[in-house]
Chains A and B, each alone.
Chain A
Amino acid sequence: MQDVTNFKPLIVAFCCNWCSYAGADLAGSNRLAYPADVKIIRVPCSCRVNPMFILRAFQRGADGVIICGCHPGDCHYTSGNYYARRRMSLLFSMLDYLGIERDRTRVEWVSAAEGAKFAATMNDFVEKVTALGPNKRLEDLRCKK
């Protein structure tokens, strides 16, 4: 049994190259701290995030997955985040329907100027996922060492 007080969640963050990844860089430049549990994967646009990637992360032991993109209307490719928004609405709703804790998934729009928002979002997300404890319902036990 894992000690809940020492539980460090594993968070995978998909960030679009143009806004949110730049926002994460800005958080870094301003030395705005958030837990090391967050690992960022760069994608060109939030619409590149395939639901399969999210499920894969959960399968391989991630405790939370967050997708960050440009604010609606600001997409570098004009419409990518609108598609992402629809896809994620359905996927998250389905995970909820299957009884997976809601707070393990999130979509957040973070612009390149919102370093502070990026750090605050990550702090909040890590806190929520930590409170949920380890991801048991979606874990693939084969792949755990």
Chain B
Amino acid sequence: MQRIGVFVCHCGTNIAGTVDVVAVAEALKNEPGVVHSAEYQYMCSQAGQDLIKAAIKEHNLSGIVVCSCSPRMHEATFRKTAAAAGLNPYMVEIANIREQCSWIHKDMASGTEKAIILGKAAIAKVNLNTPLTPGESPVTKRALVIGGGIAGIQTALDIADAGFPVDIVETKPTIGGKMAQLDKTFPTLDCAACILTPKMVDVAQNEKIRIFSYSEVVDVRGFVGNFDVTIKKRARYVKEDICTGCGLCTEKCPQKKVPNEFNLGMDNRRAIYIPFAQAVPKVATIDADYCTMLKTGKCGVCAKVCTAGAIDYEAKDEFIEEKYGAVVVATGFNPISMDKFDEFAYNQSKDVITSLEFERLTNAAGPTAGKLLRPSDGEHPHTIVFVQCVGSRCEACAEKGKEYCSKICCMYTAKHAMLTRDKYPDTDVYVFYIDVRTPGKAFDEFYRRAVEEYGVHYIKGMVGKVSPEGNKLKVQASDLIAGKQLHIDADLVVLAAAIEPDKSARGLATMLTASMDTNDFFTEAHPKLRPVESPTAGVFLSGTCQGPKDIPETVSQAGAAASKVIGLLCKDKLTGNPCVAQSDEMMCNGCSSCERVCPYGAITYSDKEFRMPDRTTKIRRVASVNPAVCQGCGACTVACPSGAMDLNGFKNNQIMAEVDAICKM
């Protein structure tokens, strides 16, 4: 049996004005477990707190009920008071007799009656309280950033700047991501490489940052502050520490017919290659799918020409295990496949291209050295049609497109149209749009400039059909304002393909137990108030893996994610909230219902041996909750059919006891 002390606060006249506090203290005196009952002017004052402390010692109290204002106001205060008197702070319950009683009722009799019932409910609950101790866990002071695009780069730089070591894992042979493939950036039109490559160099030179390029995360275990991660470093057949990046091998390699993914297959590279001139790390990589030596054992040209002796045909995949305190996901995006959009003839004509391909066509380091030439015949195009929202806002057909707006297309299309008109004023440029969305600093002005200064024809309406005829592309479109169908003979059609999260994100989310929405974007812990944190503690989100974003937004989110990581890594120990779920293994069915509703991935299952009353052992699958990850929502407790899952601080029997106390009138 508990020894409970009841403390009724007058709160000046705030409570005492409509509640007979003396009568409340008197009525609660005889409740089960209550050994002491008192009232006082201001319980939260120093004198009031001293009174509670003295009573705890004098009456050897095991729990206290404070009838006062809302627990949202002073629960923390009274918990500290209890702790100072040697009582476990979680043995304190508050009966809210101010906000939910005295302030809303005018009649003394009913106010007093209700206050007594609320007090009884709190007493009934304290009777079932158990002392709780928050768990502590150490923090590994190292961060992992998954993805080496601009989001990952910025996050890593910011974390390293605060003095913490950071590892970047990038699947490609170089960091840089999509931004490295872009030509100019809106709305200022500075060249992407000019602003990105210095940052890449910063990453390479930063002593706190390690880059695992050509690598992927294959396993994640543990929880916030204590992640155990396995990274697979794929064999690149070139010793990274020896290769000087001179590029001789990439010139001599006889295998010349490898589609160059950096230029989206619009030209070829060798089997041994460096993706682009400013690659970081600037190290060659052998493409095992194409290398004659690796496939047939006959060639070895690169090894012969390499003066540094960096080529190693015997290299194997390496697995690196490392501990991290925080994980930042920065896996980025890809344009969706255009295969299903037959109406735009993407697969029929080389001259129907995506916007990312257009970036490469206008980039000085691209397949045409920056000259805008048709991929089919290398001629200069005179009429270019841009089509916006290809696959974006496409709710009807999930296989084809995406229901959401890809956000960046309006702006980059304006940029492409403007740059084309700027370099080639003899070109007619049409942009077909559903809406032009330009919410950003200096964005609308940018778009208006394309229309007003550069004379780009913006036409409200969509392109319905593109059919190649001879060396022209017949474009059939609607002009909704003029209310007619247009027929344009175009030389080049550019599709603003919707963007989707990188395919690697889904598997990663499973490993991290981080939740995703139906479009495979990572879910944030709170859409407004915690936009860079995943609901899974210790996992943070940076860039387009969370939703479509342009570069400025990505960089600010990357910085925000970094600051959250720094905040976490600054701590030596993490103190948990003890009001977390707990599974009774003896009752657990192992059905996984709780695991499925847990938004934090705090629940795991394992097979355990149980000694049965008949002296046999039985192996059962049972749930266990990681208290460092659980946030205490209680969704699992209701999903659990057997009642094996319960929530500390809000246990089933505690809430039932409150219900009973309220209903026992």
Contacts and interface: CB of A to CB of B under 8 A. Distances in A.
A134 to B, nearest CB: 12
Nearest to A32: B104
A34 B634 CA distance: 29
A42 B634 contact: no
Nearest to A39: B662
A33 B104 contact: yes
A31 B14 CA distance: 11
A110 interface: no
A111 B20 CA distance: 31
Interface stretch (B106-114, B211-219, B387-395): B106-114
B121 interface: yes
B632 A39 contact: no
A25 B599 CA distance: 28
A60 B664 contact: yes
A45 B635 contact: yes
A66 interface: no
Contact of B635 (A21, A32, A47, A57): A47
B633 A48 contact: yes
B99 A48 contact: no
A61 B660 CA distance: 9
B659 A50 contact: no
B364 interface: no
Interface string B638-651: 11000000010010
A77 B121 contact: no
B67 to A, nearest CB: 14
A31 B660 contact: no
B658 interface: yes
Contacts of B111: 36
Nearest to B527: A73
Contact of B663 (A10, A48, A50, A80): A10
A77 B635 contact: yes
A79 interface: yes
B637 interface: yes
B633 A36 contact: no
B525 A79 contact: no
Residue of B515, B633, B639, B656 with highest tally of chain A CB at under 10 A: B633
Dominant secondary structure at the A interface: mixed
Contact of B664 (A43, A80, A143): A143
A48 B631 CA distance: 12
Given A36-B111, A44-B650, A87 B638 contact: yes
B634 A43 contact: yes
A110 to B, nearest CB: 13
B527 to A, nearest CB: 7
A106 B105 CA distance: 23
Given A45-B634, A83-B639, A40 B96 contact: yes
A95 interface: no
Contacts of B72: 17, 21-22, 25
A28 B638 contact: no
B637 A48 contact: yes
Contacts of B107: 36
A77 B633 contact: yes
B406 to A, nearest CB: 22
Nearest to B118: A39
A28 B659 contact: no
Interface in B566-608: 579, 597, 599
Contact of B633 (A24, A27, A80): A80
A62 interface: yes
B348 interface: no
A78 interface: yes
B100 interface: yes
A57 B99 contact: no
A79 B114 contact: no
Contacts of B71: 42
Contacts of A31: 103-104
Interface in A91-143: 119, 143
B638 A60 contact: no
Contacts of A29: 99, 103
Q: Which 3 A-B pairs have the closest CB atoms?
A: A28-B99, A48-B634, A60-B663
7 contacts: A25-B100, A28-B104, A36-B110, A47-B597, A47-B634, A48-B635, A78-B526
Interface of A: 10, 12, 17, 21-22, 24-25, 27-29, 31-34, 36, 39-45, 47-53, 56-57, 60-62, 73, 76-80, 83, 87, 119, 143, 145
Given A12-B659, A36-B110, A47-B634, 14 more contacts: A10-B663, A10-B665, A28-B99, A28-B100, A36-B107, A40-B100, A41-B662, A45-B633, A45-B635, A48-B637, A51-B638, A52-B656, A61-B665, A78-B515
